[in-house]
Structure 1
Amino acid sequence: MTAPDTPRKSAAPDGVPAIDVSALPNYAFGHRSLLWWGTFGLIAIEGTVFALTVVAYFYLRSRAPQWPLNGVPPALLWGTVNTLVMLVSLVPNQWAKRAAEAHRLREVRIALVICMAFSFAFLGVRVLEFQSLNVRWDTDAYGSIVWLLLGLHTVHLLTDTYDSGVLTVLMFTGPLEGRRMADVNENAVYWYFVVLSWLAIYAVIYVAPRVHG
């Protein structure tokens, strides 16, 4: 797959100079794409949901005699492992993004497969994370808000894993339209949001309960 052609100068039937734009693509990268604006609109909405949940977390903390209410913060191991997994996943994610912008199909395929492996690894460790929170979702207010935060992020991860899986299949089966490269590019942008939001949620779930005052 190669980059799209550039416009060609031609002449209209009446001899007036014109530009032939029939070879121009029906897609674009970055802010020139409607998909880019849609992705950032989605990020704004989901980021607001995360922010409201974090505010609720600290409101509940301000009203509690101790935090966590049972006095036992979540274990650090699996949450920290997942943080490392997410940070390393940025490497193949950026590779997929740059390869898509350059229309390098083979590299896009390889990078997406690696990204999918990271997504499944993260989901597997996430199961262990839920088991190491040291509180049930229905135990008290602390348990409910922690499970909600972790659950919201898990939903976002599942959504992106599904989208990435569909794109990966399309890269191998087709149709290999140029706009699929724009889809890969925007999917990579959304993954950056998933990682960045996780860093904030990690700090709230794992660091905040260990900071007193």
Structure 2
Amino acid sequence: MSSHSKDAYFVPEDSRWPVFGIPGIVLLAAGFGVFLNGGSSGMPMMVIGGIITLIMAVMWFRDVIIEDVTGKYNAQVDVSFRQGMAWFIFAEVMFFAAFFGALFYARVFSIPWLSGGDPATSEFLWDSVSLSWPTAGPGFLDLDFTPMGAWALPTINTTILLTSGVTLTIAHHAMKHNDRTKVILGLAATVLLGSIFMGVQMYEYVYAYQELNLRMDTGIYGSTFFMLTGFHGVHVFLGVITLLVILLRVMRGHFTAERHFGFEAAAWYWHFVDVVWLGLFIFVYVI
């Protein structure tokens, strides 16, 4: 049965890239662990592992793109891609839910318990300590730091990221109407706005370290702040790279009004990043 048939299932050829990438991922993870514990070999391991992982990702996606543009995929494969992307985003939701859960637990349970909210337990946990959020925690009572407020950089950055979602939606509607010029302009604007967002966040981090004395080791507030915003920043970076690749593919005519799931997958991911940031902005910066 032809691979172009509606009922046929496309079976890809054997790939070397999973085996090639495993050492890179192991080196990247191990190097990160060594780096966090002060080891001098941590950074070189992370760099080597990151390069190997990047090569694997680029070459593997290249193979998938070649399979797509040569007409090997059919409607059944499209369904598989959609299901895979949906499960991937669900996994990402659970990833961020864990960090939001840590923030919620610290603010709603741990701090009240330690501060006498429950007299039956507070004297056994940390007697006579008085805490309120934002706090670095009982072990940092003499630490002088300033929490990151919602104004003005975080508010500006929120506006930038939400605007990028609008430009991407405009590009998506243009794709459905086969208006390639508007698609290119919308995607280019989205990539630019995402890059500006990352630049502003980098400036915010420098400001936090130098002016607010807010660092990753600033107790529970510092660790949750940088974990949530930092991992979100990594997702924005990956989203910008993905959208840039999609932009280049649009310029080369890889998509049509009827077949453009690569574009849609990138859009799903970007809108997910937008929604996560709204939660971050509310629960980390505002409340």
| TM-score, normalised via structure 2 length | 0.58
Q: 2:243 touches 2:266 (CA, 8 Å); kept in 1?
A: yes
1:60 aligned to 90, 93, 106, which one?
A: 106
Map of 1:85 onto structure 2? 160
Q: Percent identity?
A: 27
What is the identity, as a one-letter code, of the residue corresponding to 2:83? W
Counterparts of 1:37-186 in structure 2, within 5 Å, are 37-61=83-107, 62-64=109-111, 65-69=131-135, 72-76=146-150, 77-133=152-208, 134=212, 135-172=214-251, 174=252, 176-178=254-256, 181-186=260-265
Give the drift of 1:108.
1.4
Partners of 1:181 and 1:104 lie apart in 2 by: 13
Would the aligned equivalents of 1:78 and 1:128 in 2 still touch at CA under 8 Å? no
Report the 3-state secondary structure (helix = DSSP H, G, I; strand = E; otherwise coil) of the residue aligned with 1:138. Answer: coil
2:281 to 189, 194, 202: 202
> 2: distance between equivalents of 1:50 and 1:102?
35
Matched position secondary structure for 1:33: helix
- C-alpha separation in 2, matches of 1:205 and 1:129: 14
* Matched letter for residue 124 of structure 1: G
Give the conservation status (yes or no) of the 8 Å contact 2:149–2:286.
no
Q: With a CA cutoff of 8 Å and minimum separation of 6, indicate the structure with the bigger relative contact order.
A: 1
CA contact (8 A) 2:160 2:193 kept: yes
SS of alignment partner, residue 94 of structure 1: helix
TM-score norm. by structure 1 comes to: 0.76
* Root-mean-square deviation (Å): 2.5
1:196 is displaced (CA, Å) by 0.8
Counterpart residue type for residue 68 of structure 1? P
Instruction: Report SS of the residue matched to 2:260.
Output: helix
Determine the C-alpha separation between the residues in 2 that align with 1:56 and 1:27. Answer: 43
Q: Match for 1:114: what amino acid?
A: A
CA distance 1:183–1:131, change in 2 (3 Å):
same
* Residue 16 of structure 2: aligned partner: none
Any gaps of 5 or more consecutive residues in structure 1? 1-23, 209-213
Question: How far is 1:27 from its partner?
Answer: 5.5
Structure 2 gap ranges (5+): 1-70, 112-130, 137-144
Q: CA deviation at 1:170?
A: 1.9
Look up the SS of the partner of 2:82 in the other structure.
helix
Alpha-carbon distance change, 63 to 177 in structure 1, aligned in 2, over 3 angstroms: closer
Q: Which amino acid aligns with 2:254?
A: L
Contact 2:216 2:223 in 1 (8 A): yes
